[in-house]
Structure 1
């Protein structure tokens, strides 16, 4: 005659007994499995972000200028107007067939002051950095150049920016392939920039800021680079400025990178900013404003991030107290 097994309630399990040890071991095994599954899911989701960013076209209204974020002709005219007001010199690096890639520099490049490079427009679905740079010039004063030499690289991926697409018209990522032994060849835009390696390294000797966006996020984050093993004032200052506009990620994985308190620190790849930091710059940052937030707010955040970046460089080099 078969005996019926009595179902044992969890409440009836004695911690020190055989049932308790068995249940405890099963629960630990299950917990480890769940934790492992969650980690795998997070990593899988973060890796799948890349093709999601590369699909679709993303264009936003620029209400103050009564145009669209992909109106590159309007943008270039407005930027050149501000360039003349600031006395910037334009260096046309190349015409890729989709338009001219230009570097704009303050005239004090030979002065004994910090040299910084501010770049945007590597990915066509991330236009707020470009428009924030334009607004920085509109609202700022050329007196800034008394203390710092600034170079602006506002539009890199012209074909992508015109269509609101991440990649260029050849399906290349313009922010990869800059380092030796990189996993991919540099894009057509990347090759243009590499042809001006000496010019760009001199321009970015004290710091480089690249203004990016993450169109999949409601929260902001940034990549920072410092010649140290721990976060310094530079990283924290930029994170704090970003947090004035958006909530920042607390602890999450982004494209396989660990983000903590809004910062991914010293993550090296073949990107433009990683390349310049590894070869010449004192510090570097790649800010990521959240593309699921309003466009005007993202552009405004980028405008102020540029100011915070320059202030931090001036403070690092003990020149005044930064920008007011």
Structure 2
């Protein structure tokens, strides 16, 4: 079982004057953490990261911790990043998809579930260039991605091809999926705003992506896919938006 004390201790050990760490509330007896990397500026892309919305998908939480434990001085200089490292603390501790009340937070953004309410309060007034939500899939044999973007300049297909060096892409699709490329599906507007990613896409971001790694893989391998996705995305936005004024 994941240990929330260990998770919190790793967060506490991340000390940098330009990384602000706050507890924005408590849910089911656990602190709900939010970190802000860098200071907002007109030239900086605004990025949102999240993991652990499903408690039995710990690889995204691990990837975010590894990212924060790096030397990220250059990232602090060039980005403003809001991080929600574990959206479902009670599910994480109990290694279950839902929270301790049996609620799937990733289907509850139209409802007043404590976790989704805290997230919505935290995001109020924000507009992000990009949102990455890290997930896992117990039925998948490999990695796949969902992407939503206001234009059709997709980023996930290139990431998916790089991810093949870590492990295979998952080829299965559901009847309702909208394929974009090998291992990449489109975030469907028909999802509405009950899901976390679709809620953010509707209200707070112009570009969103979901990483789905196979839960059958070792933890380090799953985390590598999430980190690859994050690294390639930050590189993309650093290059494409460098020096441009932001609204």
Whether the TM-score (by the shorter chain) exceeds 0.5 is: yes
Kept in 2, the 8 Å contact 1:130–1:155? The answer is yes
Matches within 5 A, 1:173-212: 173-178=104-109, 182=110, 185-199=111-125, 201-202=126-127, 205-212=128-135
Aligned to 1:257: 177
Q: 1:150 aligned to 77, 81, 98, which one?
A: 81
Aligned to 2:200: 276
RMSD of the alignment, in Å? 2.2
Query: Displacement, 1:167?
Result: 0.3
Kept in 1, the 8 Å contact 2:169–2:183? The answer is yes
Aligned to 1:309: 233
* Structure 2 residue ranges without an equivalent (≥5): none
DSSP 3-state at the match of 1:314 = helix
In 2, the alpha carbon distance for the partners of 1:219 and 1:97 equals 33
1:319–1:219 Cα change, 3 Å: farther
Please give the per-residue CA displacement for 1:250-281, whole angstroms capped at 9, x wherever unaligned. Answer: 3x324842445111113132221211122231
1:278–1:291 Cα change, 3 Å: same
Matches within 5 A, 1:42-191: 59=1, 70-82=2-14, 84-85=15-16, 87-178=18-109, 182=110, 185-191=111-117
Are residues 1:239 and 2:160 paired?
A: yes
In 1, the alpha carbon distance for the partners of 2:243 and 2:141 equals 36
Are residues 1:222 and 2:145 paired?
A: yes
In 1, the alpha carbon distance for the partners of 2:36 and 2:57 equals 23
* Structure 1 residue ranges without an equivalent (≥5): 1-58, 60-69
Moved more, 106-115 or 211-220: 106-115
1:176–1:216 Cα change, 3 Å: same
Aligned to 1:31: none
Over 3 Å off, 4+ runs: none
In 2, the alpha carbon distance for the partners of 1:307 and 1:248 equals 19
In 2, the alpha carbon distance for the partners of 1:273 and 1:214 equals 16
Structure with greater helix percent: 1
For the pair shown, which has the larger CA radius of gyration, 1 or 2?
A: 1
Query: Displacement, 1:210?
Result: 0.5
TM-score by length of 2: 0.88
Query: Displacement, 1:86?
Result: 6.4
Query: Displacement, 1:111?
Result: 4.7
Query: Displacement, 1:234?
Result: 1.7
In 2, the alpha carbon distance for the partners of 1:237 and 1:149 equals 24
Q: How many pairs does the alignment contain? A: 240
Are residues 1:294 and 2:218 paired?
A: yes
